[in-house]
Amino acid sequence: MNKLVLALMLLIVASCNNYNKNNSDLLNAEANAYLKGYNDTFQQLMIPSTEASWRLNTYIKEGDTVTEQNAAEAEKALVAFTGSAFNISMAKRYLAEKEKLSDVQVRQLKAILYGAASSPATVSDIVEQKIKAENEQTSNLFGFAYMLNGKKVSTNEIDEILSSSNDLDERLNAWKASKEVGKGLKAGLANLRDLRNNTVQALEYKDYFHYQVSDYGYSSDDLLSVCRSMNKEIWPLYRELHTWTRYMLAEKYAQEVPEYLPAHWLPNRWGQEWSGLIDTKGVNLDSTLQTKGAEWVVSKGEKFWMSMGFPALPKSFHEKSSLYPLPNDADYSKNNHASAWHMDNANDVRSLMSVEPNTRWWGTVLHELGHIYYFKTYSRPEVPIILRGGANRAYHEAMGTLIGMASMQTPFLEGVGLMPKNVQVDEMQLLLKEAMDYVVLIPWGAGVMTEFEYNLYAKNLPFNEFNKKWWELKKKYQGIVPPAERGEEYCDAASKTHINNDPAQYYDYAMSNILLFQFHEHIATKILKQDPHKTNYYGSKATGQFLKELMKDGANCDWKDHLKKHLGQEMSAKAMVNYFSPLMTWLKEQNKGRKHTLPEQFI
């Protein structure tokens, strides 16, 4: 057993000798002693784990097994602590008398149990099987050889065809090739479903879906109700987008207008966002940014936050982060997916990026710095180490995406000198492109993905109905159908990475889109007094103060109460609907006389 865990156990056992059920002061003192020990030990074990993971992502060298082994050992030590029978029993013991404890104590104890449920020592044999199965599934997913016309292709090459080709036969072949990976993952997904369910059931969760949604304080039924409400609110707008897209693509491909959207007609393998269909003119910063350089992009992003009253990032951020592409002669590689890291849940914040001076990276830098400043803002003594996270999982993504969106609005770009004033921009096309991203994701994320995984985990979806259910949901929520019948030899759901290695959480993305429009509407209308489509956050200390208030409590709050306190409203898609109301008017005009094939009312 880890020495830190043993010392913690001895401390608690010693204090328990004086335990008196009727003495609330003693109970609180004991709980505080336990929680302090847990937080200290968690942080001490977290640091080598995140450092090893950081190394694994920033120094990838062929034949290097030491880095991978170190990461596995550090993670194993952390999981052995968080999932230990001792911590499970202690958290349960104190929660049995939660009415005598403070809210912050109860939140920490619940977080301890939630963390333990992913790998509880009480079912160590199942946990071991689950870890092995997850590693195998990930290996099969990312090690799959995609073939097109007898040649091996990358997913980037498949995506490029779906993004740019007007040849329907070429598109069909590429789309089919993208789904072949699911065949070999189907049995593994069914096995993982059982292992994940069995793991969390050891801590009295109904199933793995229930476990994940409980992090929001929801039951499974609550979460489904929230997601269906989102879809209902945006349905009239989505229905118009669906109709417009059917007619636009039929004209583009010189085909009859289809009743539903054929999956291979869309620019994304899963139809989760369609923004690639819209070619907007005017907002392209590439030529300007190329004259300034990648370092300027990062520096200006930080100055944006500072202009709103946030402090400069610590020197260690710039020294320890991996912000730019590796030199061409580097003998190692790194993960090129942008991410933000809170190494110790305290002062060590870093970002992993490969920043280049172009439009895409401008928005990405602002997004990632949103996460970094969220980390920094809630890292204060009032927020315990294990509660230093977003108010809920969606908050973090919403905060990053909010700033990324704000950084692309024309008054902001003009103000920071990235766009000449009075450039002619087709604002309706910009709105259409945004809707094809933010709105289209809702029926995908809060519909197809959520409902499929609910059926998979909570309803024990039969193995011989995986693909049938997937396409039923695709048609119902998105109005998308396969090019031809897809039998149960396929498992098209498993072609989506998250189904395999980030399960039962995809509604996070839908919620984050809903929240960011609520945050943005409040900032635009209540603070800046500006048109939500034409805002400039730069230099607004009042906006910065509002963001600090949203961020400072981390997970040390009830997020539903937190939202009501700061916005005066519950989570709702109303702000998103308001933002796209001019587009809705335009779409209705465009769709006059056209046949709508999605039902008028969301079912």
Are 439 and 241 in contact, with CB atoms under 8 Å apart?
A: yes
pLDDT tens for residues 209-264? 999 999 999 999 999 999 999 999 999 999 999 999 999 999 999 999 999 999 99
Give which of 416, 204, 209 is closest to 304, Cα–Cα.
Answer: 416
Question: Containing H/E element for 275?
Answer: none
Give which of 182, 143, 178 is closest to 163, Cα–Cα.
Answer: 178
Please provide residue 274's backbone torsions phi and psi, each rounded to the nearest 5 degrees.
Answer: -120, 20
Give which of 106, 452, 399, 397 is closest to 270, Cα–Cα.
Answer: 452
pLDDT of residue 30: 95
Give which of 301, 304, 435, 314 is closest to 368, Cα–Cα.
Answer: 301
pLDDT tens for residues 178-218? 999 999 999 999 999 999 999 999 999 999 999 999 999 99
DSSP 296-338: HHHHHHHHHHHHTTPPPPPHHHHHH-B-SPPPTT-SSB---S-
Q: Which residues does 330 contact at the CB level (< 8 Å), separation at least 6? A: none
The two structure tokens encoding residue 571: 């989570």
Which of 9-13, 215-219, 493-497, 507-511 has the weakest average pLDDT?
9-13
Answer yes or no: is pLDDT of 334 > 90: no
Please provide residue 148's backbone torsions phi and psi, each rounded to the nearest 5 degrees.
Answer: -140, 120
3-state secondary structure of 500: helix
Are 391 and 554 in contact, with CB atoms under 8 Å apart?
A: yes
Distance CA 152, CA 126 (A): 37
Give which of 53, 51, 63, 61 is closest to 326, Cα–Cα.
Answer: 61
Give which of 115, 94, 114 is closest to 33, Cα–Cα.
Answer: 94
Q: Map tokens 């039951």 to a residue.
A: 219
Which of 171-175, 359-363, 475-479 has the weakest average pLDDT?
359-363
pLDDT tens for residues 521-533? 999 999 999 999 9
Give which of 570, 539, 581, 495 is closest to 303, Cα–Cα.
Answer: 539
What one-character DSSP code corresponds to residue 215? G
Calculate mean pLDDT across residues 398-409.
Answer: 92
pLDDT tens for residues 411-424? 999 988 888 887 78
Are 474 and 405 in contact, with CB atoms under 8 Å apart?
A: no
Average pLDDT of every residue of the chain? 93
The two structure tokens encoding residue 482: 């396969």
CA angle 128, 129, 132 (to 5 degrees): 85
Distance CA 142, CA 471 (A): 24
pLDDT tens for residues 353-381? 999 999 889 999 999 999 999 999 999 99
Interstrand relation of 480-481 and 151-153 (parallel, antiparallel or unpaired): unpaired
3-state secondary structure of 342: strand
pLDDT of residue 19: 47
Answer yes or no: is pLDDT of 177 > 50: yes
Are 33 and 103 in contact, with CB atoms under 8 Å apart?
A: no
Calculate mean pLDDT across residues 109-114.
Answer: 97
Distance CA 203, CA 295 (A): 48
Answer yes or no: is pLDDT of 101 > 60: yes
At 512, which amino acid appears?
A: S
Answer yes or no: is pLDDT of 10 > 60: no
Are 419 and 283 in contact, with CB atoms under 8 Å apart?
A: yes
pLDDT of residue 417: 87
Are 386 and 414 in contact, with CB atoms under 8 Å apart?
A: no
pLDDT band at 336 (very low <50, low <70, confident <90, very high): confident
Distance CA 322, CA 54 (A): 10
Q: What dihedral angle (degrees, nearest 10) is formed by the CA atoms of 514, 520, 522, 523?
A: 160
Q: Where are the alpha helices (DSSP H) in 96-166?
A: 103-117, 124-142, 155-164
Give the number of other CB atoms < 10 A from CB of residue 427. 15
pLDDT band at 5 (very low <50, low <70, confident <90, very high): low
Residue 312: alpha-carbon gap to chain centroid: 26
Q: Which residues pair with 148 in a beta bridge?
A: 151
Residue 441: alpha-carbon gap to chain centroid: 12
pLDDT band at 283 (very low <50, low <70, confident <90, very high): low
Interstrand relation of 151-153 and 261-262 (parallel, antiparallel or unpaired): unpaired
Give the number of other CB atoms < 10 A from CB of residue 359. 16
Q: Which residues does 393 contact at the CB level (< 8 Å), separation at least 6? A: 215, 216, 505, 508
Calculate mean pLDDT across residues 70-99.
Answer: 93
Distance CA 411, CA 599 (A): 39
Please provide residue 427's backbone torsions phi and psi, each rounded to the nearest 5 degrees.
Answer: -65, -30
